Amino acid sequence: MVLALCGSLVPAVGARAAQTGRAAPVPLERLFDNRAVGDDSRPAAADFDGAGGFLRARDLTAAGWTPGRALTVQGARLVWPKRRPGEPDNVRAAGQDVALAGRGDALAFLVAGTAGRPVAGSGTVTYADGTRSGYRLTVPDWRTGPLATKAVALPHIGTPAGRLTERARLYVVTAPLVPGRAVASVRLPNTPDAHVFALSVRTATRGWTGTWSTATGGHGPVGPWTDRTLRLVVRTSAGGSRVRVRFDNTFAGAPVRIGGATVAVRASGAAARGAPARLSFGGAAGVRIPAGAQAYSDPLRFTVPAGADLLVSFHLPGTVSAAPLHRLARQRSYVSGPGDRTADRSAGAYTSVITSRPLLAGVDVGGGPGSVVLLGDSITDGEKSTADADRRWPDVLARRLLRQDAVPRYGVLNAGISGNRVTGDRYPGDGVSTDAAGVSALHRFDRDVLAQPSVRTAVVLEGVNDLRWGVPAEQVIAGLRDLADRGRARGVRMLGATIPPCGGEARCTAAVDAERLEVNRWIRRGGAFDGVLDFDAAVRDPARPSRLLPAYDSGDHLHPGDRGLAALAHSVDLRLLRP
């Protein structure tokens, strides 16, 4: 949330400003000096890039990014400037001091660059106790930056000569804060080609533990559904006495409307054990989620059992023909006939089955010890695990944690996406696509790991898909090192898992196995990670180390079956999960 500096801090900050000869920090909107948003009827009133290019107000409105609208992206609440087209609505970063208050894990910047390339610079955070910390901000370009990491892409560029059919991008970039310290002000980098539209302290992750999540792999065709209720089955890890859910409209180009939503403990099938509890969003029954944004439900007093099935039901009053989704649920969920059936306790209205997870991305419980995020590909996603049985290795790990007292009973969040890679995007990051293998681990790390509530530790099990499709070990290692460095810089304990063998699978040639062994040697000896989970050793055949042990092989020689996935989970030294 963007906040004005509270009165008790003004004298201290003002005194420091006077001593240095600098102006006292002011709210960001008082620094606006550039006009990014324009109207086609008055194109000369805006000039974002110095060449007359601008963001079209009509496109922003169609995406749900209306003036003064609060948007949640990557767990951070940011307010789109409340300005008319042609009015100053952003600041070119030039070392200005911005008044900001709050405690959280990160700063969140809503930004775009206009240099035709990424621009970067360093800034400073000043805390209420007088201490400071530095940060580095890299801002992608509004016309050439990666679609895979954008917050929203608009379909046109406005120019004095008319609109161009070219994607305009806006980004949310985060920077770490010192945990527990209250922010007083932020000095922007001296990088004038970096434009800042909004700035906030990310607080949405504090005080919550993730009990379930899934990673969005793309924006794919669904239904189409009109006036239907979806009832998704999710398996909890940690329990608690309060709950909230998160819907993600990631990768979308238009808003989506949730008419109403409930949560219930599952009895069986689509039937609830008791009357579903009504969720709210900012006090309202439903919510319209802008393109690229998220919506958290309000905290609700509701007992979430650990290791149990929940039913999260939500009504889609409009027509939804494509949605952000996780393709491989390995769990049946349900779709009703016409109408809002979120309050139904019985299963009668739920006449159709789906095996993907659209829109719903997370369930959190209040308090708790924090969460462990497992970033991976199809092995973490549970590609060959038994459907409707919760036998993915993250599920088995969650059950192990619940049965012990040696370490906290962390929430376990599965961020596996079947087909995912460390270094390359399978889903391009924009538009409707049948490929739901996601953007690369490098591109989704901030959203799927760092933005999760109270994340303590992350496990990375990725790389086999890169190697099978010809990416050299050196490039995979560089990507894994980058993930480890980024996580550790945010105070997250980073564990690297060695890549299990896949000999016998068509693409797992002897040359690929040699590359795999090179990556694994680096994981074991490279020192980039805080600890190592030797999954290769846990499931390989001692007689043929390039292959899975037959008892653990699902039959395709690439994916472990139920027994192999359990072996992975049981090989984890739980003490390594403690930060």
Residue 525's CB is within 10 A of a number of other CB atoms, namely: 9
Q: What is the mean pLDDT of residues 303-310?
A: 98
Q: Is residue 273 part of a domain?
A: yes
| CB 343 within 8 Å of CB 278 | yes
CB 572 within 8 A of CB 533: yes
pLDDT band at 19 (very low <50, low <70, confident <90, very high): low
Residues 576, 442: Cα–Cα separation, whole Å: 23
| Among the ranges given (97-101, 176-180, 430-434, 547-551), the one the predictor scored with the smallest mean pLDDT | 176-180
In terms of domains, do 181 and 307 share one?
A: no
Give the separation between CA 424 and CA 440, rounded to whole angstroms.
5
- Overall residue count recorded for the chain in this entry: 579
Give domain status of residue 378, yes or no: yes
- Residue-wise DSSP of 26-76: B-GGGG--B--EE-TTSGGG--SSSSS-BEEHHHHHHTT--TT-EEEETTE
The total of other beta-carbon atoms located within 10 Å of residue 527's CB is 11
DSSP category for residue 551: G
The stretch 529-539 carries a mean pLDDT of: 98
pLDDT (0 to 100) of residue 6: 33
Q: Answer yes or no: is pLDDT of 271 > 90.
A: yes
- Of all helices (H) and strands (E), which one includes residue 319? strand 309-326
> CB count, 10 Å around CB of 478?
13
| 178: in domain | yes
Mean pLDDT, residues 124-138 taken together:
97
Cα within 13 Å of Cα(398), Cβ side: 28
- At residue 9, the pLDDT reads 34
Q: Of all residues in the chain, what percent carry a pLDDT higher than 90? A: 94
The whole-number average pLDDT for the span 265-274 is 98
Task: Give the domain CATH number at 538.
Answer: 3.40.50.1110
User: Is residue 215 assigned to a domain?
Assistant: no
Q: Are residues 197 and 232 in the same domain?
A: no
What's the mean pLDDT when you consider all of the chain?
95
- Residue 244's domain comprises 221-362
pLDDT band for position 206 (50/70/90)? confident
Q: What is the mean pLDDT of residues 331-360?
A: 98
290 with 175, same domain?
A: no
Judge whether 214 lies within some domain: no
Residue 216 covered by a domain: no
pLDDT of residue 3: 33
Same domain, 309 and 161: no
* Predicted confidence (pLDDT) at residue 432 exceeds the cutoff of 50: yes
User: Taking 50 as the threshold, does the pLDDT of residue 150 lie above it?
Assistant: yes
Peptide linkage before 224 cis (omega within 30 of 0): yes
CA distances 190 to 5, 33, 129, 136, 137, Å, are 22, 14, 25, 11, 10
Picking from 362, 377, 407, the residue at the C-terminal end of a domain is 362
171-199 pLDDT per residue, tens = 999 999 998 899 999 999 999 999 999 99
pLDDT at 525: 95
Q: 249 with 216: CB under 8 angstroms? A: no
Residue 18: is its pLDDT beyond 50? no
Same domain for 296 and 425? no
pLDDT digits (tens, 9 = 90+) for 55-86: 999 999 999 999 999 999 999 999 999 999 99
Same domain, 357 and 383: no
| 388 and 493 assigned to the same domain | yes
Residue 4 has pLDDT above 80, yes or no: no
Mean pLDDT over residues 449-471, rounded? 97
What pLDDT is recorded for position 2?
33
Give the pLDDT band of residue 1 (cuts 50, 70, 90): very low
Q: How confident is the model at residue 11 (pLDDT cuts 50, 70, 90)?
A: very low
Distance CA 453, CA 531 (A): 22
Q: How many domains does the chain have?
A: 3
Q: What is the pLDDT of residue 58?
A: 98
Bridge partners of 455, per DSSP, are 371
User: What's the CA gap between 265 and 277, in Å, rounded?
Assistant: 10
- Do 384 and 486 belong together in one domain? yes
Check residue 23 and give its pLDDT.
86
Q: Is residue 293 part of a domain?
A: yes
As a whole number of angstroms, the distance between CA 13 and CA 395 comes to 49
Q: At residue 308, what are phi and psi to the nearest 5 degrees?
A: -130, 165
The answer on pLDDT for 14 being more than 60 is no
Q: Determine the pLDDT at residue 526.
A: 86
- The rounded radius of gyration (Å) of the Cα atoms in the chain is 24
Residue 207 within any structural domain of the chain: no
| Whole-number Å distance between alpha carbons of 200 and 339 | 38
What span, in angstroms and rounded, lies between the C-alpha atoms of 117 and 140? Answer: 7
**Do 307 and 409 fall into the same domain?**
no
Question: pTM of this prediction?
Answer: 0.94
Tell me how far apart the alpha carbons of residues 143 and 118 are, in angstroms, rounded to a whole number. 11
Average pLDDT over residues 115-132: 98
